[in-house]
Structure 1
Amino acid sequence: MRDASLTTSATPTLHLAEFIALMALLTSFVALSLDAMLPALNQIGEDLQAKNLQQVHLTITVFFVGMGLGQLFFGPFADAKGRRATILVGLLIFAAGTLVCMLATSMEMLLYGRVIQAIGVAGPRIASMAIIRDIYVGNAMARVMSFIMMVFILVPMLAPVVGQMVLNAFSWRHIFTLFLLMAIIVGCWFFARQPETLSPSNRSPFSLKQLQASCLVIFRHRGVMGYTLAMGCIFGSFLAYLSASQTIFQTFYKTGHHFPYYFATLAFAVGLASLFNGTMVLRVGMRRLCRVALYGVISFSLIFTAIIHQWEGLPPLWITVITMFCGFFFIGILFGNLNAMAMQPLGNMAGLGAAIIGSISSLLAVPIAMSIDAFIHTTLYPIGVGFIVFMSLAFFAVNYAERD
């Protein structure tokens, strides 16, 4: 008998290049929905009369609240109702949230729309990963995922540039028009070309008892919880930067329309780390890479904060970019490896486990990001100190996970 973890439930029906492009677009809705908005945050805050800078930053932060909740729903939904139904429901919810944002007359209305958007975007994200696992396994899956990652890396680099172009030609509301058009185009492409990959005989009826049992397994497993908490701390620190990036580059450094290019440079650091990790992980191992990256990111946090102090809160732009590029490279190594190590003990409950782990880490990251962003007014001190505190907590969480 073949190991269940080494079998697939479907066969490829699309040419590999088309399949990779389609799956990459489905998974990239998250990055597109976040990064394309960044150049418009100041204008959105002015038009909708935001109470303060932190309320503007919430347009990014609350997205992860919705995505955390959405993953909890769509994880078991994808196993019970199939991949196509999951993508359909997810895209419809995403479109509804996009319309709310497009028609928003207040910041509160926009934030509600962002949460709805994020709940919906969890559907394509969960289902696309499940489709890949349905069709490919082992080295074949790793090969497909590496190609998808190469395409996916381009989205955080290009999305702010596209957002800036839309902003220059139209208004911030048409960035949401772009999201809606993308959802329609990708949805039509998917339903026209990709058949269902989970047969009715392989589906698992949704059970609240199963969800509770899975949560108990995760909460009681030292390794899973330790790595998940570490992911939440690291992602929370990174999310604080992501939410405030437009303020940092356009308000503090006065980069104007060049902001997307600085953002793309730092996004490239994370993408470069993903490619590096893909080539090194089989030689060195996940644990060793994570340990080196943790030491690297803590060193970066200390050095960055010292540099900020040296220039009284705001170092020269080129020093900030170079220092953050190095730090984000280490963060890029940690993202994928910590998630893989958290998933490793979960075996047959991998789908539901992925949804729960993703939800816990996202929902933990949001208050961390908000606590850091609340102190960002005129300097980078909160970013530097936030990195020191939460990267150190991530280090302790990994040690907890690996304790015998």
Structure 2
Amino acid sequence: MSDINADAWVSSGHRPMGFPEFVVVIASIMALNPLAMDMMLPALPNIGSAFHLEVANRPQMVLSIFLLGFGVGQFVMGPLSDRFGRRPVLLGGMAVYCIASLLAIAAPSFETLLLARALQGLGTSATRVIAVSIVRDCYAGRKMASVMSLAMMVFIAVPVIAPSFGQAVMLLAQWRGIFIVLMLYGVAALIWSALRMPETLPVSERKSIAIRDVLGAFRQTVTNRQTFGYALAAGGVMGSLFAFVFSSQQIFTEIYHLGHYFPLAFAAIAVGVAIAGFLNAKIVGRVGMRVMSHTALVIFVAVAGTMFAATRLHMLPLGLFMPLAALMMFAFGLMMANFTALAMEPQGHIAGTASSLYGSITTLLGIGIGATIGQDYDGTLVPFTTGFFLCTLAALGVVLMVEKGRLFRPHQFVIK
């Protein structure tokens, strides 16, 4: 992207912001979600101890309940933004996020903490849906994929540094201090968006939120082969990632005995996503979304198969697990931006609702898969690697059906 004049990429839809600021703002509001997820990873054992949780896997609910609120919330955020515009829904969602962070800080019980986490997830559902919708309002096709990749490059540092940041915060203020940081970041993002983000959906293009119309838009989304197919594939891929995230603290501390070095190991693996975002932004405009994402999917399947076989043969030491996990993250980074762009490409006329339903399908499917695999953790890598392998095979099968058996097609083609 460095060879492209940023001024040529400025859309009238996001003026007066220039292109660089637009990308950074989009990345900042999208980062609310991964920040709230990954900062919590090193805190899970402390939360379990603070609330005297007897079931070892139960602290994972701090992550899964957050994602449940995130997934369910997306059902309504898209239609609301298509009716009332992007700004009010975006700002309202961020306000809910900040209030939920306050509730988490003062939570007297584990159940109250889970309620706060569900509300945080609900708030970030608005930021995710609206961010994608705003990008779709302003850009289309490969340009949209490039913008999404650039936004991912800006906020991709979040999962890399968030666990270490969370560990550092806990040294000063215990686990509740993490929610203070989350609240302050949410307030800063809210103020920036309120001051700088324009409304990108003209009044003339707004949709009705009558039940019949919303259901009609949902029907258009799920009956589009390309949109629904890539949503299902992304859900399977995301389920693999969620399974890894939910189990990562236990995997690194209990199986590989890394202790407090766990955040560093997680950061080293997450670098793969950053590299993927940079690579995708540089070349997706030349080679196309399908070539990039299908290549990444094949890599994902190969990594999953290798992990599965190595686990069964009891030959998956940390020295092999780390590069395989980094390659998994690299492939994930290439897939998700392009899967999202491919799914949204035919839905410009109902971008908010389509983004909403796409996000709900991928997130809820991912949560169901990831939580199931995570709760099956038994002190070994067998549940994770088995689930990972099955999910990737299913995702590959769905993409093959969507593309009618033809992968790596370089040209753009909207499947009806």
Fold match (TM-score > 0.5) = yes
Aligned position for 2:5: none
Paired amino acid for 2:107: A
For 1:95-244, list aligned pairs within 5 A. Answer: 95-135=98-138, 144-244=147-247
Paired amino acid for 1:262: A
Aligned position for 1:12: 15
Cα gap change, 1:23 to 1:350, in 2 (>3 Å): closer
Q: Is contact 1:21–1:151 with CA below 8 Å preserved after alignment? A: yes
Q: Is contact 1:49–1:107 with CA below 8 Å preserved after alignment? A: no
For 1:378-397, list aligned pairs within 5 A. Answer: 378-397=379-398
Aligned position for 1:259: 262
What SS is found at the alignment partner of 1:205? coil
Paired amino acid for 1:246: Q
Cα gap change, 1:132 to 1:193, in 2 (>3 Å): same
Which whole-Å CA distance do the structure 2 matches of 1:134 and 1:286 have between them? 19
Which whole-Å CA distance do the structure 2 matches of 1:86 and 1:151 have between them? 23
Query: Please, which of 290, 295, 316 is the counterpart of residue 293 of structure 2?
Result: 290
Aligned position for 2:30: 27
For 1:332-343, list aligned pairs within 5 A. Answer: 332-343=333-344
Which whole-Å CA distance do the structure 2 matches of 1:26 and 1:8 have between them? 19
Cα gap change, 1:325 to 1:156, in 2 (>3 Å): same
| 2:241 is equivalent to residue 245 of structure 1 | no
More deviation, 15-24/26-35? 15-24
Which whole-Å CA distance do the structure 2 matches of 1:355 and 1:174 have between them? 31
Q: Is contact 2:145–2:338 with CA below 8 Å preserved after alignment? A: no
What SS is found at the alignment partner of 1:10? helix
Q: Is contact 1:237–1:369 with CA below 8 Å preserved after alignment? A: yes
Q: Tell me the CA shift for residue 7 of structure 1.
A: 12
Q: Is contact 1:36–1:175 with CA below 8 Å preserved after alignment? A: yes
Q: Is contact 1:9–1:198 with CA below 8 Å preserved after alignment? A: no
Q: Tell me the CA shift for residue 360 of structure 1.
A: 0.9
Query: Please, which of 256, 272, 278 is the counterpart of residue 281 of structure 2?
Result: 278
Which whole-Å CA distance do the structure 1 matches of 2:289 and 2:200 have between them? 30
Deviation track 1:99-122 (CA, whole Å, cap 9, x = no partner) reads 232222332222222111111112
Cα gap change, 1:216 to 1:297, in 2 (>3 Å): same
Aligned position for 2:4: none
Q: Is contact 2:42–2:263 with CA below 8 Å preserved after alignment? A: yes
Q: Is contact 1:8–1:134 with CA below 8 Å preserved after alignment? A: no
Q: Tell me the CA shift for residue 16 of structure 1.
A: 4.2
Q: Is contact 1:9–1:199 with CA below 8 Å preserved after alignment? A: no
Pairwise CA RMSD of aligned residues? 2.4
What SS is found at the alignment partner of 1:400? helix
Paired amino acid for 1:213: G
Cα gap change, 1:13 to 1:287, in 2 (>3 Å): closer
Cα gap change, 1:79 to 1:226, in 2 (>3 Å): closer
Query: Please, which of 81, 84, 91 is the counterpart of residue 84 of structure 2?
Result: 81
- State the identity as a percent: 33
Aligned position for 1:352: 353
Which consecutive unaligned segments of at least 5 residues does structure 2 have?
1-8, 406-416
What SS is found at the alignment partner of 2:231? helix
Which whole-Å CA distance do the structure 2 matches of 1:400 and 1:139 have between them? 22
More deviation, 166-175/188-197? 188-197
Which whole-Å CA distance do the structure 2 matches of 1:335 and 1:384 have between them? 20
Deviation track 1:224-256 (CA, whole Å, cap 9, x = no partner) reads 322211111111111010111111112322222
Which whole-Å CA distance do the structure 1 matches of 2:144 and 2:223 have between them? 30
Cα gap change, 1:343 to 1:257, in 2 (>3 Å): same
Which whole-Å CA distance do the structure 2 matches of 1:235 and 1:288 have between them? 20
Q: Name the TM-score, length of structure 1 as normaliser.
A: 0.90
More deviation, 162-171/256-265? 256-265
Which whole-Å CA distance do the structure 1 matches of 2:81 and 2:304 have between them? 39
Q: Tell me the CA shift for residue 296 of structure 1.
A: 1.9
Aligned position for 1:301: 304
Paired amino acid for 1:331: F
Q: Is contact 1:224–1:401 with CA below 8 Å preserved after alignment? A: no
Q: Tell me the CA shift for residue 82 of structure 1.
A: 2.3
Deviation track 1:108-154 (CA, whole Å, cap 9, x = no partner) reads 22222211111111222223333444455677756654442221111
Aligned position for 1:3: none
Q: How many corresponding residue pairs?
A: 397
Q: Tell me the CA shift for residue 350 of structure 1.
A: 2.5
Which whole-Å CA distance do the structure 2 matches of 1:287 and 1:99 have between them? 43
Which whole-Å CA distance do the structure 1 matches of 2:363 and 2:309 have between them? 29
Which whole-Å CA distance do the structure 2 matches of 1:350 and 1:303 have between them? 38
Cα gap change, 1:42 to 1:333, in 2 (>3 Å): same
Q: Is contact 2:142–2:289 with CA below 8 Å preserved after alignment? A: no
Which whole-Å CA distance do the structure 2 matches of 1:307 and 1:30 have between them? 33
What SS is found at the alignment partner of 1:53? coil
Q: Tell me the CA shift for residue 39 of structure 1.
A: 0.9
Paired amino acid for 1:123: A
